[in-house]
Amino acid sequence: MATRYRFGDCERAHFVTFSVVEWIDVFSREDYKQILVDSLRYSIENKGLIVHAWVIMPNHVHLVISAQPGNDLSGIMRDVKKFTSRMIIKAIEESSKESRKHWMLWLFKSAAAKNSNNNENQFWQQDNHPIELRIKEMMDQRLDYLHNNPVKAGLVWEPADYKYSSAIDYYRQENGLLPVVLLV
């Protein structure tokens, strides 16, 4: 499904959001968040992804990203979403602890049935909604929004206390779970 949202200059920072279908709170489980973190790390190390800021919320992800010269952000995000959807669905299917397994798998199959781009399951909503951050005020606003998302959701008291975020890199100058290139 084509939208008006497109990546601009891939070497410039973009604010990107992608959400789980039906806003299912899949990322309330550590295992599933770790699959996404590992995929982002792989893309940083092997595909030219640059992560400036990130947060994994229970049902969606916000990133501020760019790419090393010659790399395509659209392709990188496509690959991240494709890989993580397969791996997270597989983890759900194989989990003996997942109490909502049948419900979630049914929703993923139902979403795929409504979308001709998918054969069996659809984990992520179709779009990334990239916004090229051209001026410092846009960057500052998105960083503040992204890092305060877990606070507003009641997950933590302070942004830097949230494990699945780059807030610790910005607020405490400590390394978080992913290597981050800070926006200044």
CATH of domain 14-136: 3.30.70
Residue in the structure block whose two tokens are 């690959």: 79
pLDDT digits (tens, 9 = 90+) for 138-173: 999 999 999 999 999 999 999 999 999 999 999 999
- Which two three-digit tokens encode residue 84? 């993580």
Average pLDDT, the chain: 92
Cβ contacts of 154 within 8 Å, gap of 6 or more:
none
User: What is the C-alpha separation between 107 and 24, in angstroms, rounded?
Assistant: 9
Per-residue pLDDT tens, the chain, 184 aa: give them: 344 557 777 789 999 999 999 999 999 999 999 999 999 999 999 999 999 999 999 999 999 999 999 999 999 999 999 999 999 999 999 999 999 999 999 999 999 998 877 778 999 998 778 999 999 999 999 999 999 999 999 999 999 999 999 999 999 999 999 999 999 7
CA nearest neighbour of 52 among 34, 68, 39: 68
